């Protein structure tokens, strides 16, 4: 990796470690390899959102051309959010694409992702199914996002009704992750979710 990128990442890594947000357990960053090309980030789900109480792991890959090009970031922790793929963890956020500026840092990336969790942009979705639910049935979206936060990110328990539906389908021998995806994308209708599971 280019020297400028390594020096810059080392400096930014220290900035995150010393930040107020890290001391309050809001953001975190760890090295994956010794040459600073891959990092593991973590953000806390923001308060008063369905993600509250959850911890979200991020894969951060630093390009050779950093800081002139943005880091490649994706969610490792599964999440139900209009701007994040529920399948791959890919993120739709302007600063990780064409709105990136060389003055931005790892800390601003982590804080921007935390802000995205608190303020979704359903008109510029990464996941059309989630965005559709967000717009047409906000209450179901919140419950679904909260359930995903509980199952995948360690947030406090959510809807007992949704949990019961998951348990019932798992008892039929389906994989838990597949069941959660099917129910979430089929508006928690057991019949259509079962059809989807049987067709895969």
Q: At what angle do helices 160-171 and 176-185 cross, to 10 degrees?
A: 130
Question: Nearest to residue 82, comparing CAs of 116, 115, 110, 56?
Answer: 116
Q: Give me the catalytic one of 92, 93, 145, 183.
A: 92
Q: Hey, CA dihedral for 78, 80, 81, 84, is it positive or negative? A: positive
Residue labelled with tokens 């109480």: 53
92 is catalytic: yes
Contacts of 52 (CB under 8 A, 6+ apart): 45, 46, 149, 155
- 127 near 84, Cβ under 8 Å? yes
User: Quick one: tokens of 186?
Assistant: 């089929």
User: Quick one: tokens of 137?
Assistant: 């049935």
Catalytic residues: 92
């Amino acid at each position: 990796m280019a020297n400028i990128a390594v020096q810059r990442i080392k400096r930014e890594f220290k900035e995150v470690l010393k930040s107020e947000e890290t001391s309050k357990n809001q953001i975190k960053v760890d090295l994956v390899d010794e040459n600073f090309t891959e990092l593991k980030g973590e953000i806390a789900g923001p308060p008063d959102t369905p993600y509250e109480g959850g911890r979200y792991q991020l894969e951060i890959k630093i390009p050779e051309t950093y800081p002139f090009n943005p880091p490649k970031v994706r969610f490792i922790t599964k999440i139900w959010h209009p701007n994040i793929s529920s399948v791959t963890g890919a993120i739709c956020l302007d600063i990780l694409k064409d709105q990136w500026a060389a003055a931005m840092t790892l800390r601003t990336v982590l804080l921007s992702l935390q802000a995205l969790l608190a303020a979704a942009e359903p008109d510029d979705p990464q996941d059309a199914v989630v965005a559709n639910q967000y717009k047409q049935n906000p209450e179901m979206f919140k419950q679904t996002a909260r359930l995903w936060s509980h199952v995948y990110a360690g947030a406090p328990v959510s809807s007992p009704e949704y949990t019961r539906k998951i348990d019932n389908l798992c008892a039929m021998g389906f994989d838990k992750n597949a069941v959660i995806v099917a129910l979430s994308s089929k508006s928690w209708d057991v019949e259509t979710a079962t059809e989807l599971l049987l067709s895969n």
